[in-house]
Amino acid sequence: MKWLGIILLTILGVVAAIVAVEYLTVPIHSLPSFIPGKHRANGHYHKRGVVAAVIALAAFVAAGYWAYRLRRPKEAAPVVVATYDSAAQVLSGPPTTTGDGSNEEGTA
């Protein structure tokens, strides 16, 4: 479920990149009908193309950053190592530990 936002941002980036390429390369009178604009003029829509390219870049950067944050390894909890002085302690069971990483006998 967390990856759904990344997928949607990537799709938005791809669509915005396609629209940016259309605005920057196709003359205004030849634009497809699904792209808004006046179709009776000459030239290209440079401002619209740049805005679409910026939206595509922002969507790709946001998706990449979000994916990086999800894939980054979490901080590991400290490992508590129990030490024993004799075989009797080993056979008696594991020592009880406190929250500071030291066991009840006072050894760390």
Residue 85 in domain: no
The token duo for 14 is 């791809």
- Report the domain count for the chain: 1
State which of 17-26, 39-48, 83-92 shows the largest mean pLDDT: 17-26
d(CA 43, CA 64): 34
pLDDT at 96: 63
d(CA 11, CA 5): 10
Say which residue the tokens 């530990």 belong to.
97
Helix (H) or strand (E) holding 11, with range, is: helix 3-25
Mean pLDDT computed over 29-44 = 72
Residue 80 in domain: no
Residue 41 in domain: yes
Domain that holds residue 65: 3-71
Residue 54 in domain: yes
Residue 50 in domain: yes
Other Cβ atoms closer than 10 A to 20: 21
Residue 77 in domain: no
Residue 32 in domain: yes
For the chain, what percent of residues have pLDDT higher than 90?
A: 31
